[in-house]
Every structure is written in structure tokens, then in C-alpha cells.
Amino acid sequence: MSFRYRDFPIYSQIRQFIIDTYSLTDTLPKKEFYGLSSQLRRAATSALLNIAEGSMKLSDAEFNRFIMISIGSVSETASILDICLDLKYITSSTHARCMLKCETLVKQLYGFSRKLKSTKS
């Protein structure tokens, strides 16, 4: 059995996003290890895991629901980044760079969702 999610470009882009997120969390204060760092890692990882889980569903409509959850996870990541900026844990340039990645992923996920909807018979 092959895992079709591995063929989607968005899957590898989110994998890179997770790597970047983990690198960023390594720079946050140690007191945030069980707080913001953990939540940021889980939100980014959730975006990927929902693509994988959804792709194995029996219909594209079901898969699309998981894409929407992935969009929510990327949005959650963006909100946590806002908190990190407010607490001065990250610079405004780091925040802007990360937000651009989040916005790009959300746009791509919405595009993927539209494509799934257009291919249903």
C-alpha cells in the first residue's frame, strides 16, 4: 500500500515548516518548554498529521475536512507566533518571516481544498 499524502507537494512543504518551527522553539526561553514551545510544535505537527490522516479517508469530501483542520493548525501556529512576538521572545523580522510561511501554507491548503472539491464526480 502506498501513502498518497507523500505525493502531495504541500506535504513536503509542511514538513519543512515543522523543521523550521522546531528550530525556532529551540530559541525560546527554557521556561516555555512545556508552554509555548510545546504548543507551537504540536500545532505545526498537527497540520501535517491531518493531511496524512485525511488522505487515507474513503472520500475526497472527508479528506477535505482534514485539510480544513490543517488550515486551523497553521492558523493556531500563527497565533502562537503573535504571542511570542508580544512577549518579545522573537524579533519582528522573525515573526514576519514565519507569518509569511503560515500565510503561504494556508493559501496552498485552500487551493488544495478547491482542487479536491472540483475533482469530485
CATH number, position 87: 1.20.1440.60
Residue 2 lies in a domain: no
Return the CA Rg of the chain. 15
Residue 1, pLDDT > 70, answer no
Confidence of residue 98 (pLDDT cuts 50, 70, 90): very high
- CB within 8 Å of 101: residues ≥ 6 apart: 17, 20
pLDDT digits (tens, 9 = 90+) for 52-80: 999 999 899 999 999 999 999 999 999 99
Residue 60 φ then ψ, to 5° = -70, -25
Q: How many angstroms separate the CA atoms of 81 and 89, rounded? A: 9
Range of the domain at 95: 7-119
| Coil/strand/helix, residue 71 | helix
What percent of the chain has a predicted confidence (pLDDT) above 70? Answer: 98
Residue 101, pLDDT > 80, answer yes
Residue 119, pLDDT > 80, answer no
